[in-house]
Amino acid sequence: MVASLRVVFFGTPEFAVPTFDALLACSHRVVGVVTQPDRPRGRGQQTTDAPVKARAVAKGILVLQPDRLGDPSFLHALEELRADLGVVAAYGKILTDAVLATPRLGVVNVHASLLPRYRGAAPVHRAVIAGERETGVTIMRVVKTLDAGPMLASARRPIGPDETSDEVERALARLGATLLVSSVDALAAGRAHETSQHETLATYAYRLTKDEGNVDWHQPADRLHNLVRGLHPWPHAFTFLRGQRLILHRAVAVGSPGRTEPGTILHADGDRLIVATGSGALQITLLQSEGKRVVTAREFLAGHRIAPGDRMTSAP
């Protein structure tokens, strides 16, 4: 029988919830949750509980929300939990040496990539933007160097050709939850095997910025297709038409338009809103005018006078 461990959980957004729920349902005991301080969220910028905090409060579990991980009062509260193990899933801050040293068995992390590829803040988005056909989840020991610790387990998952980052991330959250519990069981039983990462294979998934959503129509259509789905649901790919900013929610690469200036609208009728690119063409299927709701191409064309030959640009 596997010994029951006292676990302190570090997590904040929706991605972390399946792992948190899996820990609550297994034989180990979550003795406390560390999550980010409350911040304004959503369009109305109301201060609400993040998903992990909301779940912890509903379950009656102690929640710690330090502004600084070096705060002596937080470190004292963390020590008082007498945790055997720390588990991290998208907490949002780099853990300090003092935090890492507190649980008896150290700290492990649920990372949404097949390490050592895509270390860093945006592994799912970067994999989709790059057109990767496969990704996965890695359970790794947390060390001082970001996402560089030895690996306890990994699981692979294909990326569908039209899947968006949020769809892939939800699937990886579920996959990671199952993998995490089996890894914690292995640690508790003293049979966990840790494998060092190959540093020469490491790549870094930089944090997303709004500016990188600006569509360069000289890029190939398949690359723009990956950009649109990779930047969904934030910060989104965008372009300009007659000075108006358009947010692109869904698009698909279609056949070659021949020698046509990139950004030129080739078709603007029915469901077809097709734009020339550096190689091939991009059919926009879901889009949004600034401040308006998301609409289909047919709905958009019904409300705008657009004709073949009009241009989409990277600046107003």
Pick the closest to residue 35 from 18, 51, 58, 15 (CA basis). 51
Q: Which of 237, 287, 263 shows the shortest CA–CA distance to 129?
A: 237
Q: Give the number of other Cβ atoms within 10 Å of residue 219's Cβ.
A: 16
Q: Is 9 helix (H, G, I), strand (E, B) or coil?
A: strand
Q: What is the mean pLDDT of residues 76-95?
A: 97
For residue 257, whether the previous peptide bond is cis, meaning omega lies within 30 degrees of 0, is no
Instruction: Tell whether the model's pLDDT for residue 255 goes beyond 90.
Output: no
Q: What is the pLDDT of residues 46-64, one digit of tens each?
A: 767 899 999 999 999 999 9
Query: Helices 51-58 & 17-25, crossing angle to 10 degrees?
Result: 20
Q: Is the distance from CB of 67 to CB of 37 less than 8 angstroms? A: yes
**Mean pLDDT rounded to a whole number for the chain:** 96
Element (H, E) at 298: helix 297-302
User: Residue 232, Cβ neighbours under 10 Å: how many?
Assistant: 23
> What pLDDT sits at residue 48?
77
Q: What angle do CA 97, 101, 104 make, to 5 degrees?
A: 165
Domain ranges of the chain: 6-205, 210-313
CATH dotted code for 210-313: 3.10.25.10
Residue 43 has pLDDT above 70, yes or no: no
Q: Closest Cα to residue 300, out of 244, 237, 225?
A: 244
The predicted model gives 29-34 an average pLDDT of: 98
pLDDT, one tens digit per residue, over 274-295 is 999 999 999 999 999 999 999 9
Burial string for 175-193 (b: 16+ CB within 10 Å, else e) reads: bbbebbbbbbbbbbeeebe
Q: What is the largest CA-CA distance in the chain?
A: 71
User: For residue 308, is the peptide bond before it cis, meaning its omega torsion is within 30 degrees of 0?
Assistant: no
Return the SS3 of 87: strand
Locus of tokens 């969220």: 41
Candidates 244, 251, 239; CA nearest to 292 is 244
Q: Which of 28-37, 81-90, 167-176, 255-264 is predicted least confidently?
A: 255-264
Q: CA 239, CA 244: separation in Å to the nearest integer?
A: 8
3-state helix, strand, coil in the chain (%, to 5): 30, 30, 40
DSSP symbol at 271: T
Q: Please, which residues bridge with residue 197 across strands?
A: none
Residue 44 predicted with pLDDT over 90: no
pLDDT (tens digit per residue) in 178-188: 999 999 999 99
Q: Tell me: the pLDDT tens digits for 99-150?
A: 999 999 999 999 999 999 999 999 999 999 999 999 999 999 999 999 999 9
pLDDT-derived band at 242 (thresholds 50, 70, 90) equals very high
Domain 6-205 bears CATH identifier 3.40.50.170: yes
